[in-house]
Amino acid sequence: MKKVLITGAAGFLGSHLCDRFINEGYHVIGMDNLITGDLKNIEHLFKLKNFEFYNHDVSKFIHVPGNLDYILHFASPASPIDYLKIPIQTLKVGSLGTHNLLGLAKEKNARILIASTSEVYGDPLVHPQTEDYYGNVNTIGPRGVYDEAKRFQESITMAYHTYHKVETRIVRIFNTYGPRMRLNDGRVVPAFIGQALRGEDLTVFGEGLQTRSFCYVDDLIEGIYRLLFSDYVYPVNIGNPNEITIKDFAEEIIRLTGTEQKVIYKPLPVNDPLQRQPDISRAKEILKWQPQIDRSEGMKRTLEYFKGLSHEELYRSEHKDFSSYS
């Protein structure tokens, strides 16, 4: 049985990756310090013999006994409400954490895939964004701690590939949604759904003309899985190119939930990206991948998940003053 280490295992994407690799017959080692993750996302796996969990901060020395075939590095705060609150930890997990995991991959002769992000493009001047675009990032702006952590992560990964011959893969993840998202994490899908379910007006920043492209989590996981087992070492965009404005998305959520809230507007935050749309030509060509689940179906599944939350969980995010939407 091949063994895979998944960092950020108790998070949104990490937990879905654990499920996928368990279902594919791997021995999965989940690692998370639970700073933003939640054990309830993986508690269904604890009874399995081929799953083990380490409560550990990857920014510190990592020891995994025995052989290791694959590493997927998904440990990192991933939403503005998190990385604005814990900026130093965000920078450390992208730098020290990635360094530690690349060293572990070198030691174990394991292939490593690191989770980068569309945020490396900053507020893009090119639309849609291709992997060859270098980005437009403010290094000292409010998003800089996350953007630069991920950009450094890509650089050190390529350095380990070039100079140490480590087998590396890099995925640039665009907006993803689905079950297990945290309701209060500051991202637009759970923010809007949470507001609608609580009977609150939906908050839109600026005029709501900024765009996002939403990929359902099952599609994303499939793209990541294919990338890991491909022979391609350079960054690959994985996301859904179906673009929508935030204003239109708010109206879509109101229709989906059957509620009658209004849309209210607040000032646009600094460095909020005005456009987000992946060019997925590379993924189509190399991975034979493209999204299969349209937004209407994906949002229905996501809404059902959030409807299943307890009253305490639903109202835990009440009165959060989000200043931006990732």
> Are 18 and 9 a contacting pair, CB within 8 Å?
yes
Q: Report how far Cα 25 is from the mean position of its chain's Cα atoms.
A: 24
Identify the band that residue 295 occupies on the pLDDT scale cut at 50, 70 and 90: very high
Tell me the average pLDDT of the chain.
93
Query: Using CA atoms, how far apart are residues 234 and 184, in angstroms rounded to an integer?
Result: 33
Helix (H, G, I), strand (E, B) or coil at 222: helix
Say whether pLDDT at 39 is over 70.
Answer: yes
3-state secondary structure 101-140: HHHHHHHHCCEEEEEEEHHHHECCCCCCECCCCCCECCCC
Q: Which of 118, 311, 114 is nearest to 198 (CA)?
A: 311
Q: Which of 239, 234, 235 is nearest to 289 (CA)?
A: 239
Identify the band that residue 319 occupies on the pLDDT scale cut at 50, 70 and 90: very low
Say whether pLDDT at 107 is over 50.
Answer: yes
Phi-psi region of 311 (alpha: psi -120 to 50; beta: other; left: phi over 0): alpha
Active site annotation includes 146: yes
CA atoms 138, 114, 246, 188: torsion sign: negative
CB atoms within 10 A of CB 234: 14
The percent of the chain in helix, strand and coil, each rounded to the nearest 5, is 40, 20, 45
Indicate the residue type of 6: I
Report the pLDDT value the prediction gives residue 15, as an integer from 0 to 100: 98
> Are 79 and 8 a contacting pair, CB within 8 Å?
no
Say whether pLDDT at 219 is over 70.
Answer: yes
Q: Which of 26, 146, 177, 216 is catalytic?
A: 146
Query: Using CA atoms, how far apart are residues 108 and 67, in angstroms rounded to an integer?
Result: 6
Percent of the chain with pLDDT over 90: 79
Report the pLDDT value the prediction gives residue 321, as an integer from 0 to 100: 46
Report the predicted TM-score, pTM, of the whole model to 2 decimal places: 0.93
Report the pLDDT value the prediction gives residue 272, as an integer from 0 to 100: 67
Report the pLDDT value the prediction gives residue 49, as an integer from 0 to 100: 97
Say whether pLDDT at 61 is over 80.
Answer: yes
Domains and CATH numbers, the chain: 3-175+216-238 (3.40.50.720), 178-213+241-276+295-315 (3.90.25.10)
For residues 308-320, average pLDDT: 69
User: Token pair of 185, please?
Assistant: 């994490």
Say whether pLDDT at 87 is over 70.
Answer: yes
Identify the band that residue 320 occupies on the pLDDT scale cut at 50, 70 and 90: very low
